[in-house]
Amino acid sequence: MKSVVFDLDGTLIHSSPDLQAAANKMLADYGFTPLDLAAIEGFIGNGVPKLVERCLKVYNKPLTEEAVDKMREYYDADPFTLTVPYEGMFDCLESLKAAGIKLAVCTNKPLAPALTILDGLQLTQYFDVVVGGDTYSTHKPDPQPLLGCMEKMGAEMANTIYVGDSETDALTAKNADMTFALFSGGYRKTPCKELRHHFLFDDFSALTPYLKG
């Protein structure tokens, strides 16, 4: 294996508490009561507008551009206060980098906050390429962001793996016809066994030997 592309939220980082905080600030502006963490985690995976749409749907309010802008403003102002890397992730990245494996991130999160979080958590050094939800005109599960990420890093399909945690990631890998490693943590409503994957792991110490082959 020569290249690995990671999803961000729910794969490399546990970011839902910060997303919850921003979403609840947005909801409070409309007089709505806060949503709990489990609800927010069920809404993550298709970018900020979809997250906002799902939050507002709880209160039968249609999606508006204003609500999306509010969510982005609150989140961009404080994107990683409560966010933490998953256990063992740093050791995994160190090992892969030392082995000469190219690493990248492909996320539906907009690029600016994604880079801010990676910098803040001291992760930027590990990645050759970072693709955000606004890098291309489409979002995952459309395969374009993932394929574009591979093109930017000079990766070939035959020796590249995509690593993610959600239904969106599994479908993205399927649409791109890529090998997929599924993290059983993260944010997902569907049982792992029902999602297309080639390797299932619950700890990054198990992912490292699989990727290094």
Give the pLDDT confidence score for residue 45 in this predicted structure.
86
Is 9 in the active site?
no
pLDDT in tens, 40-69: 999 998 889 999 999 999 999 999 999 999
Q: What stretch of H or E contains 105?
A: strand 102-106
Give the pLDDT confidence score for residue 56 in this predicted structure.
98
Which is nearest to 15 in space by CA: 93, 82, 115?
82
User: What is the CATH topology of the domain spanning 16-77?
Assistant: DNA polymerase; domain 1 (1.10.150)
pLDDT in tens, 68-78: 999 999 999 99
**pTM of the complete model:** 0.96
Q: Give bridge partners of residue 201 from the DSSP assignment.
A: 183
Domains of the chain: which residue ranges?
A: 3-14+82-212, 16-77
Domain covering 3-14+82-212 assigned CATH 2.60.40.10 in the classification: no
pLDDT in tens, 94-134: 999 999 999 999 999 999 999 999 999 999 999 999 999 99
Same fold, 3-14+82-212 and 16-77: no
> What is the pLDDT of the chain when averaged over all its residues?
96
The beta-strand segments (E) located in 75-142 are: 84-85, 102-106, 129-131
Give the pLDDT confidence score for residue 213 in this predicted structure.
79
